A and B are shown apart, each in its own frame.
Chain A
Amino acid sequence: MTDFPDPLPWLIVLPLLWGTLAFLLGPGRGGRLAIAAIALQGVLALQLAGQLLDDGSRVYAVGGWGAPLGIDLMADGLAAVMLLLTQAVALPLAVFARGYFAASPKGRELFWPLTGFLLAALNALFVSADLFNIYVTLELLGLAAVGLVAIAGGRQPVTAAMRYLFATLLGSGAYLLGVALIYGSYGSVSLAVLTPLLTSEAPLAVTLAAALILTGLLLKTALFPFHFWLPPAHGGAPAPVSALLSALVIKASFYLVLRLWLELFAPLATVAAAQLIGALGAAAILWGSWLALTQTRLKMLVAYSTVAQVGYLFLLFPLATLVPLGAADSAVQGGVMQAVAHGLAKAAMFAAAGSMIVATGRDDIGRLGGVGARLPLTLFSFGLAGVTLMGLPPSGGFSAKWLLLMAALESGQWWWVAVMIAGGLLTAAYVFKVLRRAFLPVAEGDRVTRVPRTLEFSAFALALAAILLGLFGAPLLELLAVGRAA
């Protein structure tokens, strides 16, 4: 062992521990504990990233048994990038949530324990190297997310939570069916054991299993046409919850699709399947952006923007499948960069939207007048996040879309370029729709109150991080390369 304490197991144990302690402390308690613990998790994630950069990817045998008898954890560059993103988004959001629930206490009773379990599930999922263990982490993640959607109570959030529950359970069910078929074919669920077996022989059952697993995960990622559950769930929850769900939870199932597609199911990947996934992504970009433009509620607009931005993530599949190596590399880099940039920017955007709703007392784009004058920092954060989503330089979104563009041109698939440009224009349209309203003076009879400084600064920190990612993205790409066959 290189360091003590070893960051890998503690990244899973720590959030489980503080989540349980927050539950013990009682309703609404545990915010300060959570912030301290998430900061510690951030240090652990950085420490792990440093280990990986020095020594390459690592395998960790839980219980000392080793696969296939026991469960292995595996941390490579991709996992480390996702771990860093998770802690980097969670820390400002925890600060934001403390201020938000002080100003608007609806739903604060169970927020901290549920968030602890949610982060534990995310961290465990990113480092799991066992198909069944991944299913357990998906369950933990799904139930925590559904619980968070329901905490505000009321007819609409609870309906949205139930719909989300059914969607996520259907996705988990399809995934589990696939895992059962794979276990039935080979007798193991360890990724490291399965990968060579699948390369040498893949019976029909395994092709079916791959289709079931990927479809289940696409449903959980809310890729078009499976996006129906996302806007009510993300748009109806309290703002810190919406931010966690949009920034992190859907990225977890995307991460699994990416990892399985590139590694375990690589022998089964076909150009036709990749083009189909890319086409769904393109449809998501156009349809989601268009619907975002037609919304009248601020949080629904941001939620539909998530539907659209998820589409960009899936453009990487046609660009990385059976194409020249250079193109495939920059496609994967672009896709992961998009996941990180969108995570930071969307968290900032939901946080800023939450502050505006607290300040105006309603969730209505038409009544945002005066926000520009009273909450300039919040509006600035919203705008910066919008710059990232549009993909303007120098943001992280620009780097992501640039890498994807390069991949598209190198592999001769110009049609994806057209989709990306159209999506960027539509994004600009819906971001400016909000900004234009917010710069108007206060309407007759409306009031815009101030909000606590922590709300404004935490949103700004997230938005700034999304921009800085574009300027200092190189170390992240270096980390991503750890453990990937060059």
Chain B
Amino acid sequence: MKAWLTALTVLLCSGLALALGGAMLALPEFAVRLPAQVTANLDTSGVSHPVTAVLLNFRGYDTLLEVAVLLLALLGVFALSRHADEHAPRATPAHPVLQTLARLLAPLMVLVAGYLLWVGAHAPGGAFQAGAVLAAAGVLLRLAGLLPAWAQPGRLLRGGLALGLLVFLAVAVAGLPQGSLLHYPVSMAGALILLVEAGLTLSIGLTLAGLYLASAGAKR
């Protein structure tokens, strides 16, 4: 029975792989040229980096929902970790070398995050990259035993986690009188994108760090 099932799975997967390969070889020319449209509208987007323009302006609505997905992922971890068993790894006694290193690196990482946030307007960077660096700092501090795990996030922490989404929602709603959700006036687009990205950096950093801090050693 088991062998049958495996054989069937292998057969189906290879069939799909072959079909995908065949389909890829016969792809037609694009009928719609989106990159050209992005370039043509870059001037009015408020930023000069096309990826940031797509993420925060042209398709900012997708990003708004994705930010909610991130927060939701953390809520899922909270739901599971409240019932985490006692086998969760306990915080190991910190090593002095690691602690010193972490103390030196963490401020630098915050600086790098700030730089990535700022540079996103015209070069690769932005809130997600900056948030990831912040989160890495949080994980590092936790590993060095300098940060406690989150059993139950307090009010301040919840505020930080929700800040990015709330700022994004506020900016989205502020566009409504201008004509539509997430409509930025051209003159203010750059500033609004930076505001949203600043809020997102903090919240994404906390959320990603939380995925680790809430699940690792919730029992202290």
**Is B a genuine binding partner of A?**
yes
Q: Which residues does A use to contact B, with CB under 8 Å?
A: 5-6, 9, 12-13, 16-17, 19-20, 23-24, 26-27, 60-65, 68-71, 109-110, 113-114, 117, 120-121, 124, 132-133, 136-137, 139-140, 143-144, 146-147, 150-151, 153-154, 158, 161, 177, 181, 184-188, 193, 197, 201, 203-205, 208
A113-B75, A147-B79, A208-B23 given; A23·B162 CB < 8 A: yes
A177 to B34, CA, bound (A): 20
Query: Which residue of the partner chain, among A19, A60, A187, contacts B32 with CB atoms under 8 Å?
Result: A187
Cβ contacts under 8 Å, B68 to chain A: 16, 19-20, 117, 120, 140
Cβ contacts under 8 Å, B38 to chain A: 69
Closest Cβ–Cβ distance, residue B144 to chain A (whole Å): 29
* Contact across chains for A110 and B78 when beta carbons are under 8 A apart: yes
* Contact across chains for A203 and B27 when beta carbons are under 8 A apart: yes
Q: Which residues does B use to contact A, with CB under 8 Å?
A: 19-20, 22-24, 26-28, 30-34, 37-38, 41, 57-62, 65-66, 68-69, 71-73, 75-76, 78-80, 82-83, 152, 155, 158-159, 161-162, 165-166, 169, 172-173, 175-176, 178-184
* Contact across chains for B180 and A60 when beta carbons are under 8 A apart: yes
Query: Which residue of the partner chain, among B19, B66, B165, B184, contacts A16 with CB atoms under 8 Å?
Result: B165
* Contact across chains for A185 and B27 when beta carbons are under 8 A apart: yes
Cβ contacts under 8 Å, A110 to chain B: 75, 78-79
A20-B71, A185-B27, A187-B34 given; A64·B180 CB < 8 A: yes
Cβ contacts under 8 Å, A5 to chain B: 176
A447 to B66, CA, bound (A): 48
A110 to B75, CA, bound (A): 7
Cβ contacts under 8 Å, A137 to chain B: 65
Cβ contacts under 8 Å, B75 to chain A: 23, 110, 113-114, 117, 147
A185 to B69, CA, bound (A): 28
Query: Which residue of the partner chain, among B57, B76, B172, contacts A150 with CB atoms under 8 Å?
Result: B76
A294 to B33, CA, bound (A): 57
Closest Cβ–Cβ distance, residue A204 to chain B (whole Å): 5
* Contact across chains for A69 and B37 when beta carbons are under 8 A apart: yes
Summarize A's interface: helix, strand, loop or mixed: helix
Query: Which residue of the partner chain, among B33, B76, B78, contacts A187 with CB atoms under 8 Å?
Result: B33
* Contact across chains for B58 and A65 when beta carbons are under 8 A apart: yes
In the complex, given contacts A63-B184, A71-B59, A133-B65, what are 20 additional A-B residue pairs having Cβ atoms less than 8 angstroms apart? A9-B181, A13-B169, A13-B172, A20-B165, A23-B162, A60-B180, A62-B60, A63-B175, A71-B62, A121-B65, A136-B69, A143-B76, A150-B76, A153-B82, A161-B80, A181-B23, A188-B32, A197-B32, A201-B28, A203-B27
A20-B169, A188-B31 given; A63·B181 CB < 8 A: yes
Query: Can you sample 9 A-B contacts with CB below 8 Å?
Result: A26-B158, A27-B152, A62-B181, A64-B179, A110-B78, A140-B65, A143-B72, A154-B83, A204-B26
* Contact across chains for A133 and B166 when beta carbons are under 8 A apart: no
* Contact across chains for A205 and B23 when beta carbons are under 8 A apart: yes
Cβ contacts under 8 Å, A124 to chain B: 65
A110-B78, A140-B68 given; A16·B37 CB < 8 A: no
Cβ contacts under 8 Å, A27 to chain B: 152
* Contact across chains for B159 and A24 when beta carbons are under 8 A apart: yes
Closest chain B residue to A12, Cβ basis = B181
A146-B76, A204-B22 given; A71·B34 CB < 8 A: no
* Contact across chains for B26 and A203 when beta carbons are under 8 A apart: yes
* Contact across chains for B41 and A69 when beta carbons are under 8 A apart: yes
Cβ contacts under 8 Å, A16 to chain B: 68, 165, 169
* Contact across chains for A140 and B69 when beta carbons are under 8 A apart: yes
Q: Which 9 pairs between the two chains have the least Cβ-Cβ distance?
A: A187-B30, A205-B23, A153-B83, A9-B181, A188-B32, A187-B32, A147-B76, A63-B182, A62-B61
Closest Cβ–Cβ distance, residue B3 to chain A (whole Å): 20
Cβ contacts under 8 Å, A193 to chain B: 32
Cβ contacts under 8 Å, B66 to chain A: 136, 139
Closest Cβ–Cβ distance, residue B34 to chain A (whole Å): 6
Closest chain A residue to B166, Cβ basis = A20
Closest Cβ–Cβ distance, residue A457 to chain B (whole Å): 29
Closest chain B residue to A165, Cβ basis = B76
Cβ contacts under 8 Å, B30 to chain A: 186-187
* Contact across chains for A24 and B158 when beta carbons are under 8 A apart: yes
Closest chain B residue to A68, Cβ basis = B32
